[in-house]
Chains A and B, each alone.
Chain A
Amino acid sequence: MNANGVVNQGDDAMADRVGSGPAEDHVLDGNALAGRLAAVFGADVTATPGQCAHCGTVTVVGELRAYVRAPGAVLRCPACGGVVLRIVETPEATIVDARGAAQLRFERR
């Protein structure tokens, strides 16, 4: 936390490989957000299947294409590119917008 109480996710944006290359080179996957998502959902979600609300494709969160060099993190469907999850960290809260996910399935062990 910095003095504003904010995790500098902007430095995820700068990343260890800052450059002016195309966004495609910097596409990661849901594994890169696993820790942040686990802190929110209380469990590892990389193996959680989610259904894309745009095209209906079911993929696990670990396979979603992650764009982390932004004011927030955006996870997109690998099939249609539609936004499935968005995550923003503010001083008070972590905000997860899941309207792009028609369904997330959390299996019980």
Chain B
Amino acid sequence: MSDPFVTRGFVGRREHGYGGGSLAVRTPPGQYLTSDFPVLSAGPTPRTPLDRWSFRIEGLVREPRTWTWDEFQALPARDWTVDISCVTKWTKLDMRWRGVSVDTLLEHVDLDPTAAFAIAWADGDYTTNLPLSDVLNGQAFVAWEYDGRPLTPEHGGPARLVVPGRYFWKSAKWVRGLRIQASDEPGFWESLGYHNRGDQWLEERYGGD
């Protein structure tokens, strides 16, 4: 196969850090830094009213647990400042979120000893899968505030999952619950060629990476 044709004068619009140094180190391989917050979506924006919203943990737990919006807001919340990488190559540093840790949520259920995976489901028929080891110990939270303001529907509001250590497709927008399972179940993108785990530092974009 011959070399691809190079278009004269085209470099594309990519920010490669702000001059290297510490910011370059924070940019995972193959990513470029952005100051925008792009909206990516696979479908129409769900808009669940808060009085109909709920979050549920079910599956391999002794008893499923459901929270209404008010009950969810009453949980101990904290702030996170994290870097986010999307598989479409943008990375945004120092994103400020507020929400509840998945650890806190799991404290309210008794996990079966065979529990190994959490399948997150969301409005709009979206799912993504994570091993429990990827969401425990402060690695994941459910956020309802971004940058000091309520999370807008376009960015996943009222609440979304955030897993900073994985490509952002794992951070399910409009999340409504976690189903705890012994076996893995590839989600919306994972079942279509994207990597099952999605560690951006190992550049796990596609299955087979």
Residue ranges of A at the interface with B (Cβ–Cβ < 8 Å): 1, 4, 6, 8-11, 13-14, 18-24, 26-27, 67, 69-72, 74, 76, 81, 83, 86, 88, 90-93, 95, 97
Stretch from B40-48, B63-71, B105-113 forming part of the interface with A: B40-48
Beyond A23-B39, A88-B192, is A13–B88 a contact (Cβ under 8 Å)?
Answer: yes
Which residues of chain A are within 8 angstroms of B40 by Cβ–Cβ distance?
Answer: 13, 69-71
Q: Is B38 part of the contact surface with A, judged by Cβ < 8 Å? A: yes
Inside 8 A of B153's CB, which chain A residues have their CB?
Answer: 22
Q: B87 contacts which of A14, A24, A71, A83 (Cβ < 8 Å)?
A: A71
Task: Count A-B contacts at CB 8 Å.
Answer: 93
User: Is A70's CB under 8 angstroms from B45's CB?
Assistant: no
A interface: dominant SS: loop
**Cβ of B86 under 8 Å from chain A:** yes
Contact with A along B85-122 (1 / 0, CB 8 A): 01111100000000000000000000000000000000
Least Cβ–Cβ distance between A31 and chain B, in angstroms = 18
A90:B4 contact, CB within 8 angstroms: no
> What residues of B have a CB within 8 angstroms of the CB of A88 in the complex?
189, 192-194
* B: number of interface residues (CB 8 Å): 32
CB–CB B39/A21 < 8 A: yes
- Please determine whether B45 and A24 come into contact, CB atoms closer than 8 angstroms: yes
Q: Is the CB of A20 within 8 A of B4?
A: no
Contact, CB under 8 Å: B44 / A20: no
Whether the Cβ atoms of B87 and A10 lie closer than 8 Å is yes
Q: Please pick, from B38, B125, B189, the residue contacting A13 in the complex, using a CB distance under 8 A.
A: B38
Closest to B41 in A: A23
Contact A21 B154 (CB under 8 A): yes
Complex CA–CA separation, A71 to B195 (angstroms): 12
Contact of B38 among A8, A14, A22 (CB under 8 A): A14
Interface residue B169 (Cβ < 8 Å from any Cβ of A) = yes
